[in-house]
Amino acid sequence: MNFTDPLRDLDGDKLREECGVFGLIGAMDAAAICALGLHALQHRGQEAVGITSFDGSEFFSHKGLGHVADNFASGETIAELPGMMAAGHVRYSTTGGSGFRNVQPLYADLATGGFAVAHNGNISNGGQLRADLVRKGAIFQSTSDTEVIIHLVATSRYPTLLDRFVDALRLVEGAYSLICMTPEGMIACRDPLGIRPLVMGKLGDATVFASETVALDVVGAEFVRAVEPGELLQIDFDGNVRSHHPFGTISPRPCIFEHVYFSRPDSILNKRSVYESRKQIGVQLAIEAMADADLVVPVPDSGVPAAIGFSQQSGIPFELGIIRSHYVGRTFIQPSEGARHSSVKRKHNANRLLVEGKRIVLIDDSIVRGTTSLKIVQMMRDAGAKEVHFRVASPPTGYGCYYGVDTPERSKLLAGRMDVDAMCEFIQADSLAFVSIDGLYRAVGHEQRNNACPQYCDACFTGDYPTRLTDLAARADHPAFDRPANKVA
């Protein structure tokens, strides 16, 4: 979501989803409903939140650093956001930094009127586009690549806002789910590959959009359908919905890591229960990499569904051998290094009397840098575990993501510089195994990965990027280019 150097060193030992979006049109108290929806998406970004509303004549915004509850618990704050249309955004900052100026939705006064945009994803040619716009005299107020979209819309020569918007998006590479507000209504769209998720629902007469179905559930909206890859939806204040497909037909490649980790387990993604997909990943792990052990122990909370599946398939009892403190936020999403390391120490504790003397199968969703995995293995040994076998509910994460997920450069990824045996030695486990890429695909409903035309974006595992990485091409010596990217027409 933000532009500077996409390869800077990033702290953390989990892949980080950058943001979540929520918007609705046609509801009284739209801002209050939006705040509730964003609260359900808090797991997608905990550093900053913003809501913009429109009352028929004027746009209003409130933004802040921290959680939704920190900024929108007050009725007075909600009262400052009148109107029957609102859009909001929760974010985790990455390459653009955590400055207040990057908090979304971003707003600008265009020739066609006010224009507010909330964006989940990343524009992989945002740097090039930004440089071109600056050379032509554009003045940027943020370091977010989302602002590039606003400038492209503003400078398009097409007569209508819709045509200007489409013209702008034709210049954009990468991933985006967008919720935009204009004086005429709301626009929602996904990139042609559908990399980032976006769903549509109904709440009475109101039309609602969200990154995940769980947000619809929480506000009491009925799920209608997913916004299709490459689809652009216009909704006016009378509730009329018009669908456009300006980018032609391209085989979609939604992010497979939404099934592994990003989405809440109570969401539905591509007509599949995320929880069930994660259980099935555990089943595949047990089929592919059984361990002779006494207990299956999840690394909470993200490893729990896969551990249940592993236990059910293997017959090894499932137990909570690690207890998580729920008064500590998702460790990786804390912005400062000091806060992150402090949280790691306070977040997990071994259930000592349970694991002592036992052979343990530890189940986690991924290994990124490996530092957390090392600490968890050591925690089990300190608690008296006889053996510790580590199983991972995703293939080795060996490549960076440039589509809206905050990952370290490849040299900082454990799988980017070690094979599985070396990784096992690094985390000091008795054995280590990952689910295969085909096993992951089976868990989410496919027989295997179609190597000629993959059904998902899985570049973090395979290096098979579905779009050009224009900004990264300036550093073509970077290991991300070990494999050529597929071209998108």
Q: Cα–Cα distance between 413 and 10 in angstroms, integer?
A: 11
Q: Cα–Cα distance between 390 and 226 in angstroms, integer?
A: 36
201, 156, 157: which is closest to 179 by C-alpha?
201
Q: Which residue has the tokens 């909330």?
A: 118
Task: Note the pLDDT of residue 167.
Answer: 98
- Is residue 34 among the annotated active site residues? no
Task: Note the pLDDT of residue 15.
Answer: 65
Task: Note the pLDDT of residue 100.
Answer: 86
200, 203, 212, 286: which is closest to 243 by C-alpha?
200
Q: Cα–Cα distance between 423 and 204 in angstroms, integer?
A: 52
Catalytic residue among 19, 255, 424, 460: 19
Radius of gyration for the chain, computed over Cα atoms and rounded to the nearest angstrom: 22
Task: Note the pLDDT of residue 483.
Answer: 40
Question: Residue 488 CB: number of other CB atoms within 10 A?
Answer: 16
Q: Cα–Cα distance between 363 and 65 in angstroms, integer?
A: 33
Residue 144 per-residue DSSP state: B
Q: What sign does the CA torsion over 356, 359, 365, 367 have?
A: positive
Backbone torsion region of residue 55, taken as left when φ is above 0, otherwise alpha when ψ lies between -120 and 50, otherwise beta: alpha
Task: Note the pLDDT of residue 334.
Answer: 47
The CATH number of the structural domain formed by 16-254 is 3.60.20.10
Reading the block at residue 465, the tokens are: 């990027």
Query: SS in 3 state form for the chain?
Result: CECCCCCCCCCCCCCEECEEEEEEECCCCHHHHHHHHHHHCHHHCCCEEEEEEECCCCEEEEEEECCHHHHHCCHHHHHCCCCCEEEEEEECCCCCCCCHHHCCCEEEEECCEEEEEEEEEEECCHHHHHHHHHHCCCCCCCCECHHHHHHHHHHCCCCCHHHHHHHHHHCCCEEEEEEEEECCEEEEEECCCCCCCCEEEEECCEEEEECCHHHHHHHCCEEEEECCCCCEEEECCCCCEEEECCCCCCCCCCECHHHHHHCCCCCEECCEEHHHHHHHHHHHHHHHCCCCCCEEEECCCCCHHHHHHHHHHHCCCECCCEEECCCCCCHHHCCCHHHHHHHHHHHEEECHHHHCCCEEEEEECCCCCCHHHHHHHHHHHHCCCCEEEEEECCCCCCCCCCCCEECCCHHHCHHHHCCHHHHHHHHCCCEEEECCHHHHHHHCCCCCCCCCCCCCECHHHHCCCCCCCCHHHHHCCCHHHHCCCCCCC
pTM of this prediction?
A: 0.90
Please report the beta strands in 221-340, taking only residues with DSSP state E, as ranges in sequence order. Answer: 222-226, 232-235, 241-244, 268-269, 272-273, 295-298, 322-324
| Sequential pLDDT tens for the chain (489 residues) | 443 333 233 345 666 556 999 999 999 999 999 999 999 999 999 999 999 999 999 999 999 999 999 999 889 999 999 999 999 999 986 544 557 889 999 999 999 999 999 999 999 999 999 999 999 999 999 999 999 999 999 999 999 999 999 999 999 999 999 999 999 999 999 999 999 999 999 999 999 999 999 999 999 999 999 999 999 999 999 999 999 999 988 899 999 999 999 999 999 999 999 999 999 999 999 999 999 999 999 999 999 999 999 999 999 999 999 998 877 654 444 445 555 444 555 688 999 999 999 999 999 999 999 999 999 999 999 999 999 999 999 999 999 999 988 776 788 899 999 999 999 999 999 999 999 999 999 999 999 999 999 999 999 999 999 999 999 887 655 444 444 333 322
Q: What sign does the CA torsion over 79, 82, 88, 94 have?
A: negative
Task: Give the Cα-Cα-Cα angle 140, 178, 89 (nearest 5 degrees).
Answer: 75
Task: Note the pLDDT of residue 345.
Answer: 55
Task: Note the pLDDT of residue 409.
Answer: 78
Domain 273-456+474-482 in the same topology as domain 16-254: no
Domain 273-456+474-482 architecture: 3-Layer(aba) Sandwich (3.40)
Q: How buried is 406 (Cβ within 10 angstroms: 0-12 exposed, 13-18 middle, 19+ buried)?
A: buried
376, 322, 381: which is closest to 351 by C-alpha?
322
Domain boundaries, the chain: 16-254, 273-456+474-482
Q: Cα–Cα distance between 42 and 107 in angstroms, integer?
A: 22
